[in-house]
Every structure is written in structure tokens, then in C-alpha cells.
Amino acid sequence: MAPPLLNLDGIRLTFGGTPLLDGASLSASAGERIALVGRNGSGKSTLLKIAAGMVEPQDGEVFRQPSATIRYLPQMPDMEGFASVRAYVEAGLGPADDPYRATYLMEHLGLTGEENPDDLSGGEARRAALARVMAPEPDILLLDEPTNHLDLQVIEWLEEELVRSSSALIVISHDRRFLERVSRTTVWLDRGQTRRLEKGFAHFEEWRDTILEEEQREQHKLGRQIVREEHWLRYGVTARRKRNMRRLGELQSMRQRFRGHRGAEGVATMAASDAAESGKLVIEAKNIEKSFGDLTVVKGFSTRIQRGDRIGLVGPNGAGKTTLLKMLTGELKPDSGTVRLGTNLEIATLDQKREAVDPQETLAHFLTDGRGENLVINGEERHVVSYMKDFLFKAEQARTPVRELSGGERARLILARVLARPANLLVLDEPTNDLDMETLELLQELVAGFAGTVILVSHDRDFLDRTVTSIIAPDGDGRWIEYAGGYSDMLAQRGGTKLDDRRAVSKAPAEASRADAAPAKRPAKKLSFKQKFALENLPTRMAAVSASISALENNIADPAFYERDPKGFQKTIAALDKERATLAAMEEEWLELEMLREELEGS
């Protein structure tokens, strides 16, 4: 095995109270790909900063190969003092590094280099920081949430670039698909200590659950052993005093181990506050369009969203996802076309910028809007502290100012407030930002099992695959297309073609004027190959989905199923909803194609 370029051993760090890091270890050899995972607040970023030499531990050994180059990507890059993005990126190069590499990365990350750092959006700042740390091709890359604020196209490009890179990689990310793609080793930071799995992140969840189950069994065994020893001391036959004192000492030691055991971190409990059921039709849009100057972001888009649908909007930053979302929910009026909202709608919205939160406001005041100490959740009055615990906040944090929360805690707090509002339509714009894996899993279950309707914007491919019943994606020149299923289903329907940001943006004015001047194409006299293929194959696919629906319905019909496996029952219900929505979309697509065929044959 190659000697490590970086080795941290027995790292300890505390800020008072329970140690943040308590004997943590981390090592990386040339070419290794390591996913560093753990709950929000577990110390992942701190451990990465120790590896980068930015934070000194209170105890432990830190070794960095003297000749090794290390580059660290922070969550919040500091660009102060740089006149341009190019100056910022090239400042990360060493004397022997190739400046063309910086230009190459900026181009592929959608930057010219002439941008003013003060004017950058969150996504542009993240791309500039990535170009800076990747340009020198360092021996070790330390990346803290590299996919935050990036769109899908840049994330997929970054995956390919990191897979090709010869640098050793240690990465923190909440994007599971990204971690599965780039990692070959997983380090789990849990309760101050690290465990290492010599497999990629795809194997992490099963491994973690096995460890926690074994730990629970061992703790139970220790508790039973303590009970037996206490019984022996009280009622056992008196033996030699020396023996009694030895067993008494062992009992005290076991008690100390039992009391001192730090159990696994709590699990968030999420439930949306239900409103009365909406009408069957939730939103109907007909030929809606929206332009900003010469830029057309939505053109001739129509859709019908019904109760129970879970719609995902995807596309590059700037393609118009948020604009389309606002038009569908009635917040923004289209330039032309109509949007009709269904009856009895109660909408709860989590926007991309989150809500404006006063940093001086306490958590309890924020959750209750300053209206006392209680909230009403699903018709039941609950104390704010009890509700906070569902989202992994401690009772003593009720009077804590929002400014003291980490990014993940702040995300959980805002999510808690949104879900406390009665709703039958959830509108979620980038809901997964800053959430740890466990909280993300709970949010997935909530969205997948929500009785109402959900519209969400996300760049998280795994989250989309697990939650939505259809995807709306850009197809160039302001056109948007709806696909049945999740993100992977969309790619399959596009023939494996990924979203291309060049197609997602409308033509430049000069191109648009040339296109308008060109003679209009005659309407097609026959179905395209793609339409013909779909028309011929949809009946077979619909039959397969119908068979799947029948099988799922038979499972649910078993009266003992729920008692035997409640989680499995809920998953089966969610799968049945998804299959029914898929079948409905297929039937609608087949009907439209069949009508088009009849129209063309009759003309």
C-alpha cells in the first residue's frame, strides 16, 4: 500500500461540553477517493480544516507529506481583494503550474474570468472557487460541499473531471448520486470518532445500519449483565471478600460504560400539517409564455397537475425554473396564455432564498411567529419545544438566536416552519440544500407519502428519482417538456441525452431575428421516427405497468401487511401512486399520438 500523503490520528477538539472530535482519524494516499460523511454538526468541516492546516487540534498527530500540494474548497469562498475572477483563480496556481488549466476550467464552468467577484451569484462564486482549487492539479483535493448552488449540468461535468483527476480526493457532500460516482472509500464521522469502509458511498447506508444495530444489541447485553451482577451482589451466596470487592469494581465499571455510552444521534420526525383536501384539478396551464426583453424563458407550455402529483422541475441555472414555478402557482402572471388554480388550495412554500430571518430572532419566536409558546400541528396543539425536538433541536435552543445556527440547522428550522403551516400543495425550491443524509431521507419519505400535491425544483438526481412522478425539463428556446417518472426515467426517454445548458437558453437576439426571417417549415406530413416508435411501444409498456399495479394492489390487500411491516406498507403505497401516475401519463401520451396519427392520415 502506498504511504499516506496525509494522516490524522487521534484528533481531539472540544469547544466546551461534549467533544466535537474525540480520537478521529483520517488518511489519504495518492489517487484515493474518500467520501467524508456524518450528521450536520458532527465536525466534518472542522476535520477537513484540520487536514488543510487551517485549524489546530487540541490533541492528536497530524502528518502531511512535505512535498505534497493540498488545496481546500471552503463552503464560503473569500474573494475579497481580487479585481476579477481570473485574478482570483490564478492566485491559486504555483510557479510551475500551467495557466491554461485555469482558463480551461473557467470555460467549462461557464466563466469568462472577467467577472467582478462582488457581483457573483452563489453558484458563480462556487464555480470560481472550484476552478481555483482544481487548476494546480494538487496531490490532495479537500472539497467541502462542492455541489452546493451548482446546476445539474455542472455537477455532472464535475463528476467526470474528478473521476479523471489523478489527485487524491476527500469530499463532503449531501448529494448521494455525486458521492456514489466519485468515491471508492467512505469515512463516517459519528459522535466524535471515525469509522472507515473500503468501499464507495453506495455501500454506506447498509454498513451504517449494521453497525448501529450491533451497537444497540451490545448495549442491551451490557444492561442485562448489570442487572445480573446487581442481583448476585444482593442475593448471591457470600464468597471471599476479595472476590466480592473485585466483582463490585467490575459492576461499577460496567455502570460507568453504560451511562457514558453516547447513543446514535436522534432521528428527525417530519410530518406536513395537512389541510383539507384540494379539488382533483390543482393547476391547469394553457400555452403560457414569459419573456424578459429578448430572452424567452417559457414558450407555449401547457400542463394539467392533479391532486397527488409530485412534479420535479430541472434545468440549468438561469433556464427559468423559478419563473415557471411562480407562474404555475399564480405568483407571476404570464405574458400570454392562462393559468387556472384548483379549488380549496392551501399552499406552503419553501423558496430558494429561504425566508428572510432576523438573525437576532430566537428559534421559538421564529417558529410561532411570536404568538406564544404553542403551535397547532394537524389540529393538535403542541408546545414549541416539543415540535423543535422533532427536527433534532434541543430544548435549550428555544431561546438561541438564529445567528448561532449552522447552515444545516438553519435549513431544518425553516423547513420546520414551512411544514407547520396547513397545506395541500407543497412548493419546494431547492429543499435539499444543506440537509444531512438522515434528514434528507426523512424529507424524501415525507414528499413521497404526502397526501396532497408537490411541485419541487431540485438539482439532486437521487432525491428526484425517489420522490417525483414526473419531470418538467427545458428543451431549448423557452420550450419545456414533461416526462413521466423521475430524473433517470427522463434521461431514458431522451435516449440517454443529458440536459444541455446551451439548448436551455433562448437564442441571442441576432440569431432570433435570423430565425424569424427564415421561411417557416411546412408542418410534418407524417409522424417522426420517435413518435412512431413511442406509439408502437407504449401499449407494451402500459401493459407492464398495469401488471405492476395489480401486483402492488394485491400486496396492499393483505390485511396483515401493515401490522407486519408498516414501513414496507407505506413504501408500497408510494410505489403504487407512482405507477398509477406513470400509467396515466403513458395513456395520455398514447392518446395524443394516436389522435395526431389519425389527423395526419386524414390530411
* Binding-site residue ranges for ATP: 38-45, 315-322
Report whether 437 contacts 37 (CB < 8 A): yes
Look up residue 343 and give its DSSP letter: S
DSSP of 443-497 = HHHHHHH-SSEEEEE---HHHHHHH-SEEEEE-STT-EEEEESSHHHHHHHTTTP
Separation CA 496–CA 535 (nearest Å): 19
Place of cell 405497468: 545
Report which of 452, 481, 446 is spatially closest to residue 589, judged by C-alpha positions. 481
Q: How far is Cα 88 from Cα 117, in angstroms, rounded to an integer?
A: 8
Residue 72 dihedral angles phi and psi, to the nearest 5°: -120, 130
Quick one: DSSP state of residue 370? Answer: T
**Residue 394 — φ and ψ, nearest 5°?**
-90, 160
Taking the C-alpha atoms of residue 496 and residue 494, their distance in angstroms, rounded to an integer, is: 5
Cell triple for residue 589? 401520451
Question: What is the rounded distance in angstroms from the CA atom of residue 349 to the CA atom of residue 346?
Answer: 10
Please, are residues 88 and 158 in contact by the beta-carbon 8 Å criterion?
A: no
Run of H or E including 593:
helix 566-602
Exposure string of 206-216, with b = 16+ CB inside 10 Å and e = fewer, is eebeeeeeeee
Nearest residue to 421 (alpha-carbon basis) of 520, 335, 355: 355
Distance, CA of 150 to CA of 109 (rounded, Å) = 10
Instruction: Quote the longest CA-to-CA distance of the chain.
Output: 107
Any idea what DSSP says for residue 527?
-
Task: Identify any residues that bridge with 295 across adjacent strands, giving them in sequence order.
Answer: 292
Give Rg (Cα) of the chain.
28
Residue 347 C-alpha cell reads as: 399552499
DSSP-assigned states of every residue in 182-207? H-SEEEEEETTEEEEESS-GGGHHHH
For residue 601 the three cell numbers come to 392520415
Task: Mark the binding-site residues, compressed into ranges.
Answer: 38-45, 315-322
Q: Measure the CA–CA gap between 586 and 46, rounded to whole angstroms.
A: 49
Q: What is the DSSP letter of 315?
A: -
Cα(48)–Cα(64) distance, integer angstroms: 13
Residue the block writes with cell 405574458: 335
- Assign residue 149 a region: left if phi > 0, alpha if psi is -120 to 50, beta otherwise? left
